[in-house]
Amino acid sequence: MNKVEAMMLLEKIAQYMEIKGENPFKVNAFRKAATALENTELELENIEDLTTIAGIGKGTAAVLEEWRDTGRSEVLESLQEEIPYGLMKLLKIQGLGGKKLAKLREVGVVDLETLIRVLEDGTAASLPGFGAKSVEKLLTAARNLESRPERLAYAMMRPVVEEIEAVLEAEPLVLRHSVGGSFRRAEETCKDLDFIIATKEPVALRDKLLALPFINEVIAAGETKVSLVLEREEMVSVDFRMVEPSAFAATLHHFTGSKDHNVRMRQLAKAKGESISEYGVETADGLWQPETEAELFARYGLPFIPPELRAGNLEFEHDISKLVTLDDIKADAHMHTVWSDGKLTVDELIAAMKARGYEWIAITDHGKYMSFVNGLTEERLEAQGEEILAAAKKHDMHVLRGVEMDIRPDGTLDYEPEFLATLDYVVASIHSKMDQSVDEIMARLENACRSPYVNVIAHPTGRLIGRRDGYPIDEERLIALAKETGTALELNANPNRLDLTASTLKKAKAAGVKLMINTDTHHPDMMEDMALGVLHARKAYLEPSDIINCLSFEDAKAFIDAKRQKGTC
């Protein structure tokens, strides 16, 4: 048992207890124990008495010790028998916690279908704490939850992958491992997850995989393949393929895909009188198994093709060595601080960016239209500007005093031109009235692009992958406007957004539009999204010269100033 498995177990028990309506102190004891495990540097296998870890009591220690010794938990199994799994999924509905679910259980709610029924027929409205507005909101959320998407967003899959990888990394029977499939190719959505594992003891490893927490269903459990459905934010299908170490690279390449990429590789092999499969390459001399994927590509005269490019088309013709990499990024130019809805102070944010090796950044808290997230008035922006200048000097870093300004429903901007002229840099975006017609949306975007002070349009379609399609835009018109006015378009690297899409980025590049990759950071973890943004940009075959935040501070500032000097566009 490793820490990740133990933490998953404790959280699962806490969730079941919450639905059961257990004493909150008992629920919190399990969550406190999970936090204690996260914070300790000790390895659980080496601790005889788990109560020596601050935050773990006798009760939670007994649960962990039983799991460690037997791979089972009587507490969890008892809760699972008592609480229908359908109720677990309902915890994802905002505003529906354990206490309310306990009340709903009393009127027959056992799953999503019965929840919707009691919300619709008025039963729920008769319960304490379920007012008319509350019931209406819950009903809307429940109906949205009713349809599980066929494919899940990368953002939803990533924590599941991280949990599984932590388990595999700590398992001695695992010699090599990697996620494959659409997740490894950094696709926006994934149907399921594929893990390739090199091991000498597949049966013993299979038995350990079958003891993973959060298993909802075992689909298959053979000697070389285990297929599970895991209970996470959504039900996630996971395949574990166990192979001999000698076959690892070939199997990983095969199950990374894409199908079209694999077809092209088989064609190259056929031209040499060979045949590629998941086991290796059949040659005239027998089966050849590469040690690495790079060896496989080299056999056919190719450089290593990174997974995100394996689409079966341009990766075989394009000089991929010219594509943007994470090392090319010199800045992040869309970030928020505690002045609006961020988690870091100005000083903390600049220090963090300096530590990442960036040459320059822009701080862009929300504008005053976004008052509900503490958007900044002119006076507060001026005060923040002084703080930014002092912190930038302290850390010896170029920092642009900026703002993420709203493009309002009527097309007007948050601030007058005279005030915008006092800032170094301006991001413009739409956060409201996304149900307008394409002409209305485009009129708003055009007004922003034609302002000499707007440097970039952020998350230009407003989409949230798997949750919201975004507002309608005329893609060609937006690209033409950006080119005409010297306005950059953003690739928002947040995994829930990845906005713009790779196909739109390709069109923008072809038109000569400058682009930016920004994280839209609100808390420290989001800084890491830059890596995903770069992978997404590579899918569009972007090069450093296409991207403003691959430029030096002087060259980026020249781009910004050029539009201002041009005046009204």
For the stretch 204-223, pLDDT in tens is: 999 999 988 788 889 999 99
pLDDT (0 to 100) of residue 146: 63
Work out the percent of the chain whose per-residue pLDDT is above 90. 75
Work out the percent of the chain whose per-residue pLDDT is above 70. 98
Decide if pLDDT at 285 tops 90. Answer: yes
Q: In terms of domains, do 47 and 168 share one?
A: no
Q: How high is the mean pLDDT of the chain?
A: 93
**Mean pLDDT lowest for which of 29-43, 125-139, 445-459?**
29-43
Place of tokens 């301006």: 426
86 compared with 347, residue with greater pLDDT: 347
Average pLDDT (276-303) is 97
Q: In terms of domains, do 41 and 104 share one?
A: yes
The residues, any chain, with a CB within 8 Å of residue 350's CB and separated by 6 or more, are: 361, 363, 388, 391, 392, 394, 395, 397, 399
Average pLDDT (27-34) is 91
Q: In terms of domains, do 307 and 350 share one?
A: no
pLDDT (0 to 100) of residue 147: 60
Q: In terms of domains, do 103 and 157 share one?
A: no
**Mean pLDDT lowest for which of 50-59, 495-504, 521-530?**
50-59
The model's confidence at residue 392, banded by pLDDT at 50, 70 and 90, is: very high
User: Is-contact 239 194, C-beta < 8 A?
Assistant: yes
* CA 258/CA 5 separation, integer angstroms: 31
Average pLDDT (229-258) is 94
pLDDT (0 to 100) of residue 364: 98
Which own/partner contact pairs does 43-49 have at CB distance under 8 Å and 24+ positions apart? 43/2, 43/3, 44/1, 44/2, 44/3, 44/6, 44/68, 45/1, 45/2
Of 318, 339, 359, which closes a domain?
Answer: 318
Decide if pLDDT at 40 tops 90. Answer: no
Instruction: Report residue 398 as tokens.
Output: 């170029």
Q: In terms of domains, do 273 and 378 share one?
A: no
**Mean pLDDT lowest for which of 2-6, 210-214, 297-301, 403-407?**
2-6
The model's confidence at residue 569, banded by pLDDT at 50, 70 and 90, is: low
For residue 490, give the H/E element and its range. strand 488-492
Coil, strand, or helix at residue 519? Answer: coil
Name beta bridge partners: 179: 195
Q: How many domains does the chain have?
A: 3
The model's confidence at residue 568, banded by pLDDT at 50, 70 and 90, is: low
* CA 110/CA 98 separation, integer angstroms: 13
Of 146, 170, 191, which closes a domain?
Answer: 146
User: Is-contact 443 410, C-beta < 8 A?
Assistant: no
332: left (phi over 0), alpha (psi -120 to 50) or beta: beta
Range of the domain at 290: 152-318
Decide if pLDDT at 491 tops 70. Answer: yes
pLDDT (0 to 100) of residue 454: 98
For residue 218, give the H/E element and its range. strand 215-221
Coil, strand, or helix at residue 268? Answer: helix
* CA 528/CA 531 separation, integer angstroms: 6
- CATH number of the domain enclosing 115: 1.10.150.110
**Mean pLDDT lowest for which of 15-19, 52-56, 96-100, 413-417?**
96-100
Place of tokens 């820490």: 3
Q: In terms of domains, do 313 and 345 share one?
A: no
* CA 126/CA 510 separation, integer angstroms: 60
Kindly report, residue by residue over 140-191, the tens digit of the pLDDT.
Answer: 888 877 665 678 999 999 999 999 999 999 999 999 999 999 999 999 999 9
Q: In terms of domains, do 281 and 341 share one?
A: no
